[in-house]
Amino acid sequence: MSLGSITDVPGILVGHHGRRDDDATVSGPADPGRGWACGTTVVLAPPGTVGGVDVRGGAPGSRETELLDPANSVRHVDAVVLTGGSAFGLAAADGVMTWLEEGGRGVQMTGGVVPIVPAAVIFDLPVGAWANRPTAQFGYAAARAAGTEVAVGCVGAGTGARAGVLKGGVGTASVVLESGVTVGALVVVNSAG
């Protein structure tokens, strides 16, 4: 039985970009870690998509999630970014904004468009070298790679994800309700941080 994918929702596209070195290590008290093990996942939304958010966790890292409050004036999102790199990884959303702006997507203003791209991070800095984390280039590459086929596991934002001492990663599923509405989800499991 197939669990489906978030891209079963019409118009939704997903892209990943990550970098993982075979010799990447987890840092410890005497070891700063080495190599690359991080990435970014972008969910591109069709025009007119209404977003919502529920921020959880003891130290959430996010950007533009306040825009998703129904009391605010911006009602639509162009993309959602999930990324490694803790707060540093929020820079990946800049690349997604650039990619969307190049395509004319965003809130129309007098001088151009402003893409609406909420983002959230996972804490994966101890996996790989501390300074190796997603940048705007990661976000741009993930947006450019977006399509309907969604890779799962150790990809995109799940590249450095952990669940204790086990590997975490990206997962997705969908369900069609009796009403005919398709509901999709995409998650990054990183219960280590």
pTM of structure: 0.95
Superfamily holding 12-149: L-amino peptidase D-ALA esterase/amidase (3.60.70.12)
Question: What pLDDT does residue 167 have?
Answer: 92
- DSSP assignment of 128-177 equals S-TT----HHHHHHHHHT-BS----BSSGGGTT-EETTEE-EEEEEEEE-
Tens of pLDDT, residue by residue over 120-142, are 999 999 999 999 999 999 999 99
Question: What pLDDT does residue 28 have?
Answer: 78
Question: What pLDDT does residue 148 have?
Answer: 98
Question: What pLDDT does residue 1 have?
Answer: 57
Which residue ranges in the chain fall short of pLDDT 50?
none
**Tokens found for residue 146:** 């977006």
Cα-trace Rg, the chain: 17
Q: Which residues pair with 18 in a beta bridge?
A: 39
Q: Which residues pair with 47 in a beta bridge?
A: none
